[in-house]
Amino acid sequence: MDYNASAPLRPEVLALMAEVLGRTGNASSVHGFGRSARAAVEKAREQVAALAGTVASQITFTASATEANNMVLQAFRNGRILASAIEHPSVLESAPHAELIPVTADGVVDEAAYEALLDKGEPALVSIMAVNNETGVIQNVGRLAKIAKKKYPGVHVHTDAVQAAGRLPLDFPAWHIDYMSLSAHKFGGPHGAGALITAPGAKPVKLLHGGGQEKRQRAGTENVAGIAGFGLASELAQKNMEGFQKLAALRDRLETEAKKVVPILIHGEKAPRVANTSLFSTPGITAQTQIMGLDLDGFAVSSGSACSSGTVKSSHVLRAMGVADAVGECALRVSFGPDTRSDDIDAFVNAWSKMAARLAKKEQAHA
Ligand code: PLP
């Protein structure tokens, strides 16, 4: 139940990757082995492009979405950048000077505050994620990009669509954006395979120099098996997009049942959210305690983003939503996927309820 950290590799993807790994050849070689590797890369490019609603020529394969985000944010290091306050660290840390666009208590970009920032002057880049990894809250990227472009036709817009891919339809051209970052391992593909999608006229920074791979945008021999796996996972995720929406019923049931046990606060509850994610705080019971208890029962969940876990600090996302640290430290993220069944939710609710009721009693005894 930690799909937002990493979803399981789909069996079909594993089978394809094993077959491709068994092949020999560099995708840049002109002989038959090379051409076979090249064919696998180009097929994947078509599949990833289809998932993003765009054309293959706009896809640059990278080793992660972190890399793709860095390629964009670092390209604007000397310009004014507006980034939402809830971006992933791979955006925020590659643009330390970015001005942060506030979000509402529900985790949605505050449009009045965004417009006020735009009114202050033309930014070079706006970066707003499509779906937040901790809350699952969806941003209206198309609308927000249009607002910026109407005011400043020359502004570039980037969206980190890592948590949106396979969960809601992506439409690169219709969103009025110039850059989109994707990562394979969030929807059944392998780790170490990402992509940057660029519109004509976009100028991402070149981080890796050397060979002429990826139209000279990103040097280094292609991870052919990883890219092939990314491609197939994209195709499968696209086919299953409708099925994915059914997870909302499981998520809603989980939240309804949890509310019956102890008072919980569901972050982003009133905002549009992707179907598979629930972030909720049980005041007085730290996320760390809950995660350890659930782990013993065989449930893998997380406290906000995996990157910042290991510490019991509240996340920058919850802080931006105005959540007090004492409440943020108790936020548990449950995120699941197409393989999750109704029984899994029942088993989880059962284990969590027992634990929460016991810990809440203990907490009351101490109070
Ligand atoms: N952006 C978001 C919203 C994420 O959730 C993640 C993964 O945690 C990333 C970027 C980084 O992706 P990758 O693991 O491919 O570097």
Atom of ligand 1 nearest to the CA of 306: 8
**pLDDT tens figures, 265-276:** 999 999 999 999
Cα 350 to averaged position of ligand 1 atoms, centre (Å):
30
307: annotated active-site residue: yes
Q: What spacing in Å lies between the alpha carbon of 255 and ligand 1's midpoint?
A: 25
Question: Nearest residue CA, atom 7 of ligand 1?
Answer: 5
Ligand 1 neighbour 162 (Cβ under 6 A): yes
160 lines ligand 1 (CB under 6 A): yes
CATH superfamily of the domain spanning 246-366: Aspartate Aminotransferase, domain 1 (3.90.1150.10)
Ligand 1 neighbour 129 (Cβ under 6 A): yes
Number of the ligand 1 atom closest to the C-alpha atom of 184: 15
CA of 71 to the centre of ligand 1 (A): 14
The distance between the two most distant Cα atoms of the chain, rounded to a whole number of Å, is: 74
User: What are the residue boundaries of the structural domains of the chain, listed by start?
Assistant: 11-239, 246-366
Q: Is the CB of 250 under 6 A from ligand 1?
A: no
Q: How far apart are CA 5 and CA 28, in angstroms?
A: 33
Digit-by-digit pLDDT tens for the chain (367 residues) are 999 999 999 999 999 999 999 999 999 999 999 999 999 999 999 999 999 999 999 999 999 999 999 999 999 999 999 999 999 999 999 999 999 999 999 999 999 999 999 999 999 999 999 999 999 999 999 999 999 999 999 999 999 999 999 999 999 999 999 999 999 999 999 999 999 999 999 999 999 999 999 999 999 999 999 999 999 999 999 999 999 999 999 999 999 999 999 999 999 999 999 999 999 999 889 999 999 999 999 999 998 655 455 556 789 999 999 999 999 999 999 999 999 999 999 999 999 999 988 887 776 676 6
- Ligand 1 atom nearest 133 alpha carbon: 5
Residue 16 CA: distances (Å) to CA of 20, 60, 351: 6, 21, 36
Q: What residues form DSSP beta bridges with 254?
A: none
Structure confidence by residue, pLDDT tens digits, 306-320: 545 555 678 999 999
DSSP state of 138: B
Strands 179-183 and 194-198: antiparallel
CA of 240 to the centre of ligand 1 (A): 21
In terms of C-beta density within 10 A (0-12 exposed, 13-18 middle, 19 or more buried), how is residue 69 classed? buried
Q: Residue 367: what pLDDT?
A: 63
For residue 131, what is the DSSP state? B
Q: Report how far Cα 314 is from the mean position of its chain's Cα atoms.
A: 19
Measured from the Cα of 63, ligand 1's closest atom is 15
- One-letter amino acid at 124 equals A
Q: How far is the CA of 195 from the centre of ligand 1 (A)?
A: 11
Probe target for ligand 1 pocket from 4, 70, 90, with the most ligand atoms within 8 Å of CB:
90
Instruction: Please work out whether the CB of residue 66 comes within 6 Å of at least one atom of ligand 1.
Output: yes
Q: What angle do CA 71, 209, 88 make, to 5 degrees?
A: 20
> Which pLDDT belongs to residue 73?
98
CA 65 to centroid of ligand 1, rounded, Å? 6
Q: Is the CB of 133 under 6 A from ligand 1?
A: yes
d(CA 260, CA 255): 9
Backbone angles phi, psi at 121, to 5 degrees: 155, 165
182-205 burial, b if ≥16 CB within 10 A, otherwise e? bbbbbbbbbebbbbbbbbeebebe
Q: How far apart, in whole angstroms, are the C-alpha atoms of residue 232 and residue 13? A: 6
Q: Rounded to two decimals, what is the model's pTM? A: 0.96
Looking at ligand 1, which atom is closest to the CA of residue 65? Answer: 15
Q: How far is CA 233 from CA 68, 116, 247, 327, in A?
A: 19, 40, 19, 37
> Of residues 9, 50, 55, 307, which has the active-site annotation?
307
Per-residue pLDDT tens over the stretch 59-94: 999 999 999 999 999 999 999 999 999 999 999 999
Rounded CA separation 330/356 (Å): 12
Query: CA-to-CA distance for 86 and 140, rounded, in angstroms?
Result: 14
Count Cα atoms within 13 angstroms, Cβ side, for 322: 10
11-239 sits in which CATH class?
alpha beta
Residue 88 CB–ligand 1 contact under 6 Å: yes
